[in-house]
């Protein structure tokens, strides 16, 4: 698997944007890549449609909200990219369809860098509640998701791979090969049945790529597998988690599987995911 050369970074005006920019800059330097930083939110008028029925002052206020949000994001971008020529600013062209604009751009990228949304935070209103869900499931591109709690250590020094013999997990491991090559320690955990066979088969695959892994049997895939996975990540001091992204449609909405949902809700380390 070739290392990522074209990276699409999502920008908004949330406080977590600065850290995503710094991570994108670091990843671009490690893999000699270029980053398109796409400022993409839902216009205030669509978030507060009642303004259409108000006076001209209400419409003016919506326009000012958009301008201030963009100004904040631009200032954060200029500060965090630190003059790096690897990052360039870009904006959503239509200013309204944040999700679809980002997915469209993602088709032409090797890697997306996204942020976990903090439940209940007011800045979440800048994006549809299902923004992350739709981007992950419909773009089909690998995504590095950064937790909103922030990071204290460099990423990809100690990597934990959550393995199961599925299409999604296989795609995630393939996308992660450039990261696995550069890691100091690689741990692999498997949940379900015939664990040893699955772990040994993956170990052979990784060794063919020059990667040695420490194997862990996670036990049966119970309803608490997500919590167990996060606990193991803490135990081995992982700074990056690799896993497949599982979900399906229900009533025209994407619904994540149990482990995927738990990780995206409670993640404490960056996660590289692929659907």
User: How confident is the model over 57-91, as pLDDT tens digits?
Assistant: 766 777 788 888 899 999 999 999 988 999 999 98
Contacts for 128 with CB less than 8 Å, ≥ 6 apart: 42, 98, 99, 134
Residue 2 DSSP class: P
| Mean pLDDT of the 154-176 span | 94
The distance between the two most distant Cα atoms of the chain, rounded to a whole number of Å, is 67
Mean pLDDT, rounded, for 13-40: 94
What CA–CA distance (Å, rounded) separates 270 from 264?
Answer: 10
Q: Residues 6 or more apart from 171 whose CB is under 8 A from it? A: 142, 244, 274, 275
Q: Give the range among 23-32, 73-82, 148-157 with minimum mean pLDDT.
A: 148-157
Q: Is the predicted pLDDT of residue 253 greater than 70, yes or no?
A: no
Query: Could you tell me the pLDDT band of residue 22, with boundaries at 50, 70 and 90?
Result: very high
Q: How far is CA 245 from CA 34, 71, 165, 223, in A?
A: 25, 34, 13, 16
> What's the pLDDT score for residue 133?
87
The residue with greater pLDDT, 248 or 6, is 6
Higher pLDDT, 56 or 107: 107
Residue 151 has a pLDDT of: 80
HEC secondary structure over 208-274: HCCCCCEEEEEECCCCCHHHHHHHHHHHCCCCEEEEECCEEEECCEEEECHHHHHHHHHCCCCEEEE
Distance (Å, rounded) from C-alpha 19 to C-alpha 25? 10
- pLDDT at residue 250, as a whole number: 64
* Segment 87-145, tens digit of pLDDT: 999 987 755 467 888 999 999 999 999 999 776 554 457 888 888 988 999 999 999 99
Sign, CA dihedral 132-181-207-233, equals negative
Q: Which two tokens stand for residue 259?
A: 């482990």
pLDDT at 65: 83
pLDDT in the model for residue 122: 47
- 114 dihedral zone (left: phi>0; alpha: psi -120 to 50; beta): beta
Q: What six digits make up the tokens of 43? A: 């216009």
Task: Give 61 or 216, the one with higher predicted confidence.
Answer: 216
What Rg value do the Cα atoms of the chain yield, rounded?
Answer: 19
Contact 190, 217 (CB under 8 A): yes
Averaged pLDDT score across all residues of the chain? 87
Q: Which of the pair, 17 or 63, is modelled with greater confidence?
A: 17
pLDDT (tens digit per residue) in 195-209 = 899 999 999 999 999
């Amino acid at each position: 698997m070739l290392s990522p050369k074209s990276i699409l970074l999502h920008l908004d005006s949330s406080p977590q944007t600065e850290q995503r920019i710094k991570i994108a800059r670091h990843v671009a330097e490690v893999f000699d890549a270029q980053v398109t930083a796409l400022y993409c939110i839902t216009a205030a008028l669509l978030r507060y449609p009642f303004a259409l029925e108000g006076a001209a002052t209400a419409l003016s206020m919506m326009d000012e909200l958009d301008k201030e949000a963009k100004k904040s994001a631009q200032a954060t971008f200029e500060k965090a990219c630190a003059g790096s020529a690897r990052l360039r600013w870009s904006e959503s062209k239509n200013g309204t369809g944040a999700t679809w604009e980002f997915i469209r751009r993602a088709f032409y990228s090797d890697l997306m860098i996204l942020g976990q949304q903090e439940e209940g935070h007011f800045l979440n209103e800048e994006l549809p509640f299902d923004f992350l869900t739709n981007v992950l499931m419909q773009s089909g591109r690998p995504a590095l998701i950064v937790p909103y709690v922030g990071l204290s250590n460099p990423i990809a020094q100690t990597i934990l791979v959550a393995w199961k013999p599925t299409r999604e997990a296989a795609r995630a491991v393939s996308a992660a090969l450039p990261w696995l090559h550069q890691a100091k320690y690689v741990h692999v955990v498997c949940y379900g049945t015939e664990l040893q066979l699955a772990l040994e088969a993956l170990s052979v695959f990784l060794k063919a790529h020059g990667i040695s892994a420490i194997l862990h049997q996670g036990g049966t895939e119970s309803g608490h597998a997500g919590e167990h996975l996060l606990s193991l990540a803490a135990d081995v001091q992982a700074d990056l988690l690799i896993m497949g992204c599982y979900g399906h449609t229900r009533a025209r909405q994407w619904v994540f599987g149990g482990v995927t949902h738990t990780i995206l809700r409670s993640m404490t380390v960056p996660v590289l995911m692929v659907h």
